[in-house]
Structure 1
Amino acid sequence: MTTASPRADHRISPVFLALVAVMAVSGWAVWTRTIAANTGFAVFLFVVSGWVVSLCLHEYAHARTALHSGDISVGAKGYLTLNPLKYTHALLSIVLPVIFVIMGGIGLPGGAVFIERGRIRGRWRHSLISAVGPLTNVLFAVVCTAPFWLHGLDGVPEPFRYALAFLALLQVTAAILNFVPVPGLDGYGVIEPWLSLKIRRQVEPFAPFGLLAVFGLLWVPEVNHVFFDAVDAILRALGVTDWDAFQGQELFRFWRGEPQVPPLGGTL
């Protein structure tokens, strides 16, 4: 009988590398408008692959922090390979988030790594394990918007600019939703260690329904308005205009008909 070596537990998965390759190639296609007949399809591939890459990094951050906090079991579970197929709930962490992106342009929070909390000592460590996931989305948003807040958009083709803006919007929505202190989301995981045992036991049965409750609230027009006002305000602070994000979403939905964007080296 053989067992996987610790080094194999940490080796980056070919599945993740393939996702990165798709993101790179589709990003190049958007930049050069190689698929001139359908730039929107290239934007779609770039955003979806980028979104799945960010989900993998989100879950990896949870697992890596848990490893350094005492849970050495995460390696054997494959969480450190960045392979989305190794997550305990691939449907919740990968499939459903992608569907929600396609349907509504909302970054659905995932939550698929099983942390053996009994191995971890200290409330701060428990809180940090939960916080690093959405903080990864924050960092991803900062990277995506770097050309905007660094005023480095000269020479950047507009389709690529719009694609980055929409990908950043998804990261911001995911970070905000993940930080909501509702059972089942990372925000609750941050505060849970500081709650009394009685409160935690009372709240525990509602954990499977927390995400559904949050999305149910987003259907309320007033709540939806406040939520997206907050998203737009954060994006504007990062230099992304409402027009950039809107055009990115319109390009992403290539099946609805591609919006007009200026050709390379020219204007409409």
Structure 2
Amino acid sequence: MPDIGASLHLISVMALPFLLAVTLHEAGHALAAYRLGDRTAQAAGRLSLNPLVHVDPFGTVAIPLIAIFTGFPFLIGYAKPVPVDPRNFKKTRRDIVLVALAGPFGNVVVAVFFAYVLRFALGAGFTQDDWVTNVAVFGIFLNCLFMVFNLLPIPPLDGGAVVAQFLPSDLAIRYQSIAPFGFLILMGIIIVARDVIIAPTMFFAGLIAALVGVPL
């Protein structure tokens, strides 16, 4: 069991990056759907940067806390899925792909934001050991992790939604039928093949940091 003090410190460091990660991710889906002709998310109040409209008590609060206090190797969690009605799209397959990719793109935006926070913090004289720089570094890695997680080709993740649009209809239905087992599959990957997630996360975090001009 991890040290309680260390866990509480980690919570203080991860709270803002995590809230921004889930908020921009879901808001990205909602905005893309809205721009492509579907007003479902807007009608449900999900076209918003207010974290409270996206928070799921179990996925956004309970699961991350359990992950922290049990020493789980990844900070995992999720927000309430944004409602989308593909019948409102003009080009259904294309638009579903764009809406799916808009979520991970939101995480890229947040990662870049935290890279600039890190740049300004270091420029203002903060060190790598200070709380604000720890938050910024965590924000970069967490959002790259969320992007990689969600792009995995596992239904019901965003990557699974993208893959399904390139499959014949009957095969897509069978492929998406594994969605109820998606979380278990993801846990299996974390346990036996975590480099599938860690390697691209480190690559994209390093790339964003290099583009902004900050050390990680």
Same fold (TM > 0.5): yes
Residue aligning to 2:160: 188
| Cα gap change, 1:86 to 1:233, in 2 (>3 Å) | closer
Residue aligning to 1:134: 104
Q: Which runs of 4+ in 1 moved over 6 A?
A: none
Residue aligning to 1:21: none
Residue aligning to 1:233: 203
TM-score by length of 1: 0.64
| Cα gap change, 1:235 to 1:72, in 2 (>3 Å) | closer
Residue aligning to 1:34: none
Moved more, 99-108 or 55-64: 99-108
Residue aligning to 2:39: 72
Structure 1, unpaired ranges of 5+:
1-37, 245-268
Residue aligning to 1:33: none
Q: Of 35, 52, 55, which residue of structure 1 is paired with 2:19?
A: 52
Q: Give, in whole Å, the separation in 1 of the partners of 2:181 and 2:189.
A: 12
Q: Of 61, 64, 85, which residue of structure 2 is paired with 1:95?
A: 61
CA RMSD in angstroms comes to 2.9
Identity of aligned residues (%): 23
Q: Give, in whole Å, the separation in 2 of the partners of 1:151 and 1:84.
A: 25
Q: Give, in whole Å, the separation in 1 of the partners of 2:186 and 2:81.
A: 18
Contact 2:60 2:77 in 1 (8 A): no
Letter in 1 for 2:90: R
| Cα gap change, 1:101 to 1:142, in 2 (>3 Å) | farther
Cα displacement (A) at 1:62: 0.6
Residue aligning to 2:114: 144
| Cα gap change, 1:170 to 1:189, in 2 (>3 Å) | same
Find out whether 1:61 has 2:28 as its counterpart.
yes
Cα displacement (A) at 1:100: 5.9
Q: How does 1:215-226 map to 2 (within 5 A)?
A: 215-220=187-192, 223-226=193-196
Q: Give, in whole Å, the separation in 2 of the partners of 1:93 and 1:120.
A: 29
Residue aligning to 1:119: 88
Letter in 1 for 2:156: G
Residue aligning to 1:197: 169
Contact 2:60 2:78 in 1 (8 A): no
Q: Of 186, 191, 205, which residue of structure 2 is paired with 1:214?
A: 186
Structure 2, unpaired ranges of 5+:
none
| Cα gap change, 1:141 to 1:85, in 2 (>3 Å) | closer
Letter in 2 for 1:135: F
Contact 2:27 2:46 in 1 (8 A): yes
Contact 2:117 2:136 in 1 (8 A): no
Deviations 1:215-256 (A, max 9, x none): 221101xx1234323323333332576xx5xxxxxxxxxxxx
Letter in 2 for 1:136: G
Larger radius of gyration: 1
Q: Give, in whole Å, the separation in 1 of the partners of 2:60 and 2:78.
A: 10
Q: Give, in whole Å, the separation in 1 of the partners of 2:41 and 2:120.
A: 41
> May I ask how many residue pairs the two structures share in their alignment?
201
Q: Give, in whole Å, the separation in 2 of the partners of 1:55 and 1:195.
A: 28
Q: Give, in whole Å, the separation in 2 of the partners of 1:100 and 1:178.
A: 20
